[in-house]
Amino acid sequence: MCGICGKLSWVKPVDQKIVENINTALFHRGPDDGGILSLGNIVLGHRRLSIIDLTGTGKQPMSDETGRYHIVYNGMVYNFLELKQDLEKFGYRFRGTSDTEVVLYSYIHWGVDCFAKFNGMFALAIWDTEEQELLLARDRFGKKPLYYYRLPDGGIVFASELTALVKDLEVPTKISYAALNCYLGLSYILSPMTMYEGVEKLETAHYIIIKNRGK
């Protein structure tokens, strides 16, 4: 279990301290290591529970060798060694032995079609610096959670847990009565609703792309 978070704004640099606070709230999900990557209008955070590649080459946030793509990832893709072999045939070279690096290069090579190739569980965020595009994605069984709030400027803030997300004071904490009614009737809240108005949970087997000022 790991934890991911981040914040993207189209109108001003993101305050790194906000993402650090969110990331700290995710400490219990990844007590082995943590990292923050600030790129001006986006900041990514990660808490790591080290299972595969215990060295520094498995550290996140992780970037590709060109510095264009950056990933934070929570999960496990069980067939990553097979995918790694396929990617090596296309000329990709890997610095470490983590499945995170394979997931990143799978997206670089196949785009969103890579998700159909993954056998595993995951929630992830990938930032494309050149296209100024953020991808959030979740596995087909919904084993790994991901919550987000769309900012008024078209940006977004996201985290693995709702309690961590609200460490950003821009995230509203007004109770959603529709979600409350759902919980009282079913004993759980249907996605994409959460207990807070305007805060959503990325649905199982879905991805979203945020670009061009939120379009």
Sign of CA dihedral 8, 11, 12, 18: negative
193 within 8 A of 45, measured Cβ to Cβ: no
Q: 5 catalytic, yes or no?
A: no
Q: For residue 185, give every residue at least 6 positions away whose Cβ sits within 8 Å of its Cβ, in sequence order, or none.
A: none
Q: Is 101 helix (H, G, I), strand (E, B) or coil?
A: helix
Sign of CA dihedral 181, 7, 34, 205: positive
Q: How far apart are CA 6 and CA 16, in angstroms?
A: 9
70 within 8 A of 37, measured Cβ to Cβ: yes
Provide DSSP, 177-212: HHHHHHHHHHSS--TT--SBTTEEEPPTT-EEEEET
| DSSP H helical ranges for the chain | 16-25, 80-89, 99-110, 162-165, 177-186
Q: Which of 2, 5, 114, 182 is catalytic?
A: 2
- What are the catalytic residues? 2
